[in-house]
Amino acid sequence: MSEGPLLEVSSLVKTYRSPGVGPFARKNARPALAGVSFSIEQGRSFGIVGESGSGKSTLARIALALDRPDSGGVRLQGRSLFDLPRRELRATRAHMQMIFQDPYGSLDPRQRVEKIVAEPLAALGGVSRAERQGRVRASLEAVGLKASDASKHPHEFSGGQRQRIAIARALITRPRLVVADEPVSALDVSVQAQTLNLMSDLEREAGVTFLLISHDLAVVAHICETTAVMYRGRIVELGETAAMFAKPAHPYTRELVDATPRLDRPTHAPLEQDAPIVAALVERGDEVNDRVYKLGATEPRQGQASRAETADGCPYVSRCAFARPRCREEAPVLETKDGGGRKVACHFPLD
């Protein structure tokens, strides 16, 4: 249809109104998204990683036009989703589908697989019964299930098969974009592998591009060419996935990489390995956030944003071992770092 990006997200801001009562009221005023922009090219799956509260699931909902941002826009194949009339939005939605984390919760146990898988077709309208059956069959076969499975109920399948049913449902409208929010984190390792293989196949053979949201760096690296790291509603680093995880430029990306359990080494308690770097900074007379460094394994306080975070500083400043005065005063913007498509929002990126 167009030569431009498949999905373009620009300057998204979203703040959920707090209910105004109870001890959480004030902290909820922090925006879930504080100006997020990126674009996804057709055929190049895009990953988003970050911890809970980073805004990644809010972003998914807005990208699918399931929720409206306070400001900013989303374009799918050049069409601005929030400016479309309702009927056209419905039709456009058929080009994007969603896979959820929990294959049990997202399938109605009383319905037969055929009805579950065919459900998104209703949004298209005007699909004949024969065509519907044909598409259900094709969709089930595309995910490695049998056409005869259409007459069964969800409980007759294993966990991995149920996730396949959810994927078959997402594929039935032949979408260009599939948003997958933690699609494998509820699955056993062996079943995870089947689902990831299936996603790779669909990207290669069915032309599906994934927007994959996960806390698991290995899963994202397995599927996505480009990945954005989110922290407190902002993208702090964005780049080619493998290169970024091999050599993070943002201290938060490095914290994530170091914290990821690996078979070949113990996980690092945060920042232990930074001792020599921090010592060198102190030597140079730089102010170092030694509170973070000394406490090491202490739980950072969540919820209560410190003054630095609510004001103009870097959102990561209270957790960053390398924070210097400038980081408290001025929020870094996402900027290209020495060519190569890597962008980082940090005044003092790691080498």
Partner 1 sequence: MLLEVSELAVDVATRRGFQRVVDRTSFSIAEGEGLGMVGESGSGKTMTALALMGLTPEGARVSGSIRFEGRELVGLEEDAMRQLRGDRIAMIFQEPMTALNPLRRVGAQVAEPLMLHRALSKREALARAVQLLEHVRLAEPERAARSYPFALSGGERQRAMIAMAIGCSPRLVIADEPTTALDVTVQARILALIDGLRSESKMAIVLVSHDLAVIAGHCDRVIVMYAGVIMESGPVEAVLREPRNPYTLALLEARPGPGAPRGARLKTIPAAPAVAQGNSEGCPFAGRCALTIDICRKVTPPEVAFGAGHISRCHRAGEVGLAR
Name the residue nearer to partner 1 (CB basis): 148 or 273: 273
**Can residue 21 be called a binding residue for partner 1 (CB under 8 A)?**
no
User: Among 171, 121, 119, which Cα is nearest to 141's?
Assistant: 171
Extract the tokens encoding 118: 């065919």
| DSSP secondary structure code for residue 3 in this structure | S
Residues paired with residue 262 on neighbouring β-strands, in sequence order: 265
349 close to 247: Cβ distance less than 8 angstroms:
no
CA 163 to chain centre: 18
User: Among 248, 211, 203, which Cα is nearest to 56's?
Assistant: 211
- Residue count, binding to partner 1 (CB under 8 A): 56
**Can residue 266 be called a binding residue for partner 1 (CB under 8 A)?**
yes
Shortest CB 192 distance to partner 1, Å: 7
Name the residue nearer to partner 1 (CB basis): 68 or 291: 291
Name the residue nearer to partner 1 (CB basis): 20 or 266: 266
| DSSP secondary structure code for residue 180 in this structure | E
244: phi > 0 → left, psi -120 to 50 → alpha, else beta; which?
Answer: alpha
d(CA 339, CA 247): 15
**If you write DSSP's letter for every residue of 186-248 in order, what string do you get?**
TS-HHHHHHHHHHHHHHHHHS--EEEEE-S-HHHHHHH-SEEEEEETTEEEEEEEHHHHHHS-
Name the residue nearer to partner 1 (CB basis): 151 or 197: 197
Residues paired with residue 8 on neighbouring β-strands, in sequence order: 39, 75
**Can residue 218 be called a binding residue for partner 1 (CB under 8 A)?**
yes
Q: Using CB under 8 A, which of 301, 311, 330, 336 touches partner 1? A: 301
**Can residue 160 be called a binding residue for partner 1 (CB under 8 A)?**
yes
Name the residue nearer to partner 1 (CB basis): 85 or 300: 300
Shortest CB 349 distance to partner 1, Å: 19
Q: Using CB under 8 A, which of 4, 296, 325, 340 touches partner 1? A: 296
Q: Using CB under 8 A, which of 17, 19, 20, 52 touches partner 1? A: 52
CA 97 to chain centre: 14
Name the residue nearer to partner 1 (CB basis): 142 or 221: 221
d(CA 214, CA 211): 10
**Can residue 76 be called a binding residue for partner 1 (CB under 8 A)?**
no
**Can residue 295 be called a binding residue for partner 1 (CB under 8 A)?**
yes
155 close to 71: Cβ distance less than 8 angstroms:
no
Name the residue nearer to partner 1 (CB basis): 158 or 310: 158
Shortest CB 245 distance to partner 1, Å: 7
Q: Which stretch binds partner 1 (CB under 8 A): 65-73, 79-87, 174-182, 265-273?
A: 265-273
CA 185 to chain centre: 13
Name the residue nearer to partner 1 (CB basis): 127 or 308: 308
| DSSP secondary structure code for residue 148 in this structure | G
d(CA 257, CA 250): 11
**Can residue 163 be called a binding residue for partner 1 (CB under 8 A)?**
no
| DSSP secondary structure code for residue 98 in this structure | E
Q: Which stretch binds partner 1 (CB under 8 A): 116-124, 135-143, 153-161, 333-341?
A: 153-161
> Per-residue x/- mask for partner 1, residues 174 to 213, rule CB under 8 A?
--------------xxx-xxx-xx--x--xx---------
Name the residue nearer to partner 1 (CB basis): 319 or 328: 319
Q: Which of residues 244-263 bind partner 1 (CB under 8 A)?
A: 245-246, 255-256, 258-263
Name the residue nearer to partner 1 (CB basis): 10 or 200: 200
User: Among 236, 267, 260, which Cα is nearest to 250's?
Assistant: 236
Contacts to partner 1 by CB under 8 A: 23, 51-52, 158-161, 188-190, 192-194, 196-197, 200, 203-204, 215-219, 221-225, 241-242, 245-246, 255-256, 258-270, 295-303
